[in-house]
Structure 1
Amino acid sequence: MTASDEHFMVDEGLLARITGYARLSPTDIVLEAGAGTGNLTRHLALSGCRVIACEFNKRYYAKLHELGREFPNIKPVQGNVLKAQISGYDKVVSNLPYSISRQFLKMMILSGFELAVLVVQKEFAEKLVARPGSGNYRMVSALAQSAAKLEILEDVAPAAFEPQPNVMSAVVRMERARDCSRRYLDFLNTLFNQRNKKLRNILDNVPKGCHDMRPRDMGPNDFLSLFETI
């Protein structure tokens, strides 16, 4: 993560809406990745849920630690969220640093989350919901759509952040539909590394009727069915 990732949400209306999108209750345990200066953390804590607020930057972590004195339901964690091996959460609400969006999404899906509300770069959000055969359809599209019901809730202009990014962002909600294993993730990686080839030229023992299918045109149900048969 770099300084260019440090875009903190300062729009109070947006912060309140994001908290509402997560449908929080006092029994929820929420992971917030890239908690920064705690603007979103405070809103989450006010809902009564327990918040695991992870922040890489030591200076910002110190602010989270102070916020934790005000809200006992905040647990600050200093470190790289991709390596911290945080567990025990059921929801994820985060303004994600753009540079870790893809890696974090994969980690989150493997964790077995229930619901996530993520602020990501709009371009990445559009890849998550891209349809098979479209130019934006990638491995991360197939993985996200295999694991969850997705919707883009709203676009977010640069003015909602400080400092302002050079791109539009979007709020995405994901509700888990099924568990996805590391083997399934690796399976998708294998296929999308050769996304334009026919399955018969990528895999052995391809079921009859699937020989001429190409990963770029296959939907999540196609991948799930194929994975179960090979």
Structure 2
Amino acid sequence: MASRNISRFWEWGKKIICVGRNYANHAKELKNAIPTQPVLFLKPPSAYVREGSPILVPAYTSELHHEVELGVVIGKAGTAIPQSAAMEHVAGYALCLDMTARDVQDDCKSKGLPWTLAKAFDTSCPVSEFVPKERVPDPGNVKLWLTVNDQLRQSGCTSHMIFSVPYLISYISGFISLEEGDLILTGTPEGVSAVQEHDELRAGIEDVVTMSFRVDRREQ
């Protein structure tokens, strides 16, 4: 797929596959066990939101958290992809936020229920512009940061991920066939915290891309 077309992946309705607890310190800060295999969940295409539009807080949460992540954009479809060939299926990257209704997630976890309401609501996946593969030569050594109202909240590096990008592509494609334009969110470093209506979020991949989003309350 041509890069000019892949760069429009967020408008195509492709699936968003998310990896939870992929940084040990983040797992610890939420008092979760460090996983021995990737923890996966999905977001629908309606979760996408681009810069210039707001993040909308669902009415049912009072504790919306930010999670900054490296997103991997798939450019070549595949099933059961070996790790040795995984990077051949990558078209590029995006900076992403996994917005999480933490109070709802905690309640679901306590009852053994899925996290869907906590993770999959509209605007729960803010994304940056598409970043061609050549601009991120080593996805295993990418520095991420996020500020809220100009105060640094998250700062981390993908070198601290438990499961690497090639491993994740191989693992996920063994269960879920990957298609052109799919997006994989690779997990967040520690430092997640709540945001409020009217907060201004800025995030970046060091020396590569930045993005800004405002938080608004969804109208009833």
Kindly name which structure, 1 or 2, has the bigger radius of gyration based on alpha carbons.
1
Higher relative contact order (CA 8 A, sep 6+): 2
Normalising by the residue count of structure 1, what TM-score does the alignment of the two structures yield? 0.28
Normalising by the residue count of structure 2, what TM-score does the alignment of the two structures yield? 0.29
